[in-house]
């Protein structure tokens, strides 16, 4: 079901904090200057405007009341400007936009959360939400893949997640001399994850090739495609469904996504350059 069209006017938000995650990625905490946006759900995104430069869609990597946290990697003009923000500076924010992870539909089930690279950022609020009410869910598996140990996001969160009861596994593509963990693709971690496919729900975010491989592996193990939720990325310019840049077949990902179920996405992702 397509969401209602969001407002077009950005709200002013002030940078309340900034933490460098990696050499090119920073966590930016925003607080409203005057009048907060409606509550965001894990998995949704905002259009964040760097004044005088432009705006881009950014998923939420943290939600705490009216404070919003975004994880920004400097890869272009707008993301570079947002990455350079310092406390006290102001941006414009529009949202909440798109669909969320819809965690309540997974109550009573084992959870399999699989992240690749920057895809861990929008999954972080989901992990926190599940750990906040562990009695509502079965076993919590968090499987993380990164290019190198230096590229690993949320490193300061992982020990806390483990202490709270999550089964967290991390693998990298290119290890450093001091790395003692797993090496290889994130799907290889599924063999050691503790979940019952018949009674589990999965949430995936990362590079599209990783999403396809992981979703197919989970479905092959017996996890129903409608219980596999994935977050997809296409170029988004407006966030309202008007420009059509984020179209994926019949879907407009800024409205019908970014989170969709695998039974809807599998056929679409099998079409080259769709």
Residue found under tokens 């769709």: 274
Whether 1 has a pLDDT exceeding 70, the answer reads no
For the chain, the distance separating the N- and C-terminal CA atoms, rounded to the nearest angstrom, is 21
b/e burial code for range 200-232 (CB count within 10 A of at least 16 → b): bbbbbbbeeebbbbbbbbbbebebbbebbbbbb
In this predicted model, what pLDDT tens digit does every residue of 107-162 receive, in sequence order? Answer: 999 999 999 999 999 999 999 999 999 999 999 999 999 999 999 999 889 999 99
pLDDT averaged over the chain? Answer: 94
Which domains, ranges and CATH numbers included, belong to the chain? 11-97 (2.40.30.10), 103-269 (3.40.50.80)
Angle subtended at Cα 13 by Cα 74 and Cα 76, rounded to the nearest 5 degrees: 15
Whether 218 has a pLDDT exceeding 60, the answer reads yes
In this predicted model, what pLDDT tens digit does every residue of 106-115 receive, in sequence order? Answer: 999 999 999 9
What is the helix (H) or strand (E) element at residue 266, kind and residue range?
A: helix 262-269
* Reported confidence tier of residue 236, pLDDT bands at 50, 70, 90: confident
Angle subtended at Cα 174 by Cα 81 and Cα 192, rounded to the nearest 5 degrees: 110
């Amino acid at each position: 079901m397509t969401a209602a069209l969001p407002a077009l006017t950005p709200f002013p938000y002030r940078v309340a904090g900034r933490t460098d995650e990696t050499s090119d990625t920073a966590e930016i905490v925003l607080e409203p200057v005057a009048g907060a946006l409606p509550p965001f759900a894990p998995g949704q995104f905002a259009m964040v405007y760097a004044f005088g430069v432009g705006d881009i869609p950014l998923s939420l990597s943290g939600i705490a009341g009216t404070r919003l946290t975004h994880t920004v990697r400097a890869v272009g003009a707008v993301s570079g400007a947002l990455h350079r923000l310092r406390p006290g500076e102001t941006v414009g924010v529009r949202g909440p936009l798109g669909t969320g992870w819809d965690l309540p539909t997974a109550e009573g089930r084992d959870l399999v959360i699989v992240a690749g690279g920057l895809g861990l950022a929008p999954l972080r609020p989901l992990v926190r939400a599940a750990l906040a009410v562990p009695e509502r869910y079965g076993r919590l598996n968090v499987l993380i893949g990164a290019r190198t140990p230096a590229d690993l996001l949320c490193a300061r969160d992982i020990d806390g997640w483990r202490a709270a009861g999550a089964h967290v596994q991390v693998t990298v593509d290119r290890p450093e001399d001091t790395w003692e963990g797993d090496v290889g693709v994130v799907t290889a971690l599924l063999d050691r994850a503790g979940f019952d496919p018949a009674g589990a729900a999965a949430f995936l975010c990362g590079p599209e090739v990783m999403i396809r491989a992981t979703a197919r592996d989970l479905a092959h193990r017996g996890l129903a495609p409608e219980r596999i939720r994935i977050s997809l990325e296409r170029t988004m310019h407006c966030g309202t469904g008007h420009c059509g840049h984020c179209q994926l077949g019949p879907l407009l990902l800024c409205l019908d996504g970014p989170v969709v179920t695998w039974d809807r996405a599998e056929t679409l992702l099998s079409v080259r350059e769709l």
